[in-house]
């Protein structure tokens, strides 16, 4: 039987970094998404769910990604996924 490895420590240490203005932010990498989160990104229908991947509303990171133009957020989202070798369209197949 295959046992799915789970190491929360490595997930917490393995972050995607990006900059908005002079500030650097760190978020969970695309490869660490749950199946439900991956489907939300792949569908691209639930914009709030996509923003929540970076941070919930009311948190510093969640608020800053909601303040940038949608086109810039889309570029950020694409780069975040691409940094793990994933195209956003592949999330459903994963």
The yes-or-no verdict on residue 78 having pLDDT over 80 is: yes
The pTM (predicted TM-score) of the whole model is 0.77
Contacts of 90 (CB under 8 A, 6+ apart): 42
Angle between helices 70-82 and 47-54 (to 10 degrees): 60
Highest mean pLDDT among 16-30, 31-45, 46-60: 16-30
State the residue for tokens 């991947």: 53
State the Cα–Cα distance between residues 79 and 58, nearest whole angstrom: 24
The yes-or-no verdict on residue 23 having pLDDT over 90 is: yes
């Amino acid at each position: 039987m295959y046992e799915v490895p789970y190491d929360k420590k490595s997930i917490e240490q393995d972050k995607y970094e990006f900059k908005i203005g002079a500030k650097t932010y760190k978020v969970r990498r695309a490869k660490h998404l749950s199946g439900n989160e991956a489907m939300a990104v792949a569908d691209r229908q639930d914009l709030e769910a996509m923003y929540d991947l970076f941070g919930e509303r009311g948190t510093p990171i969640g608020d800053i990604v909601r303040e940038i133009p949608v086109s810039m957020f889309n570029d950020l989202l694409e780069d975040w996924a691409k940094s793990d070798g994933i195209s956003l369209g592949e999330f459903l197949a994963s």
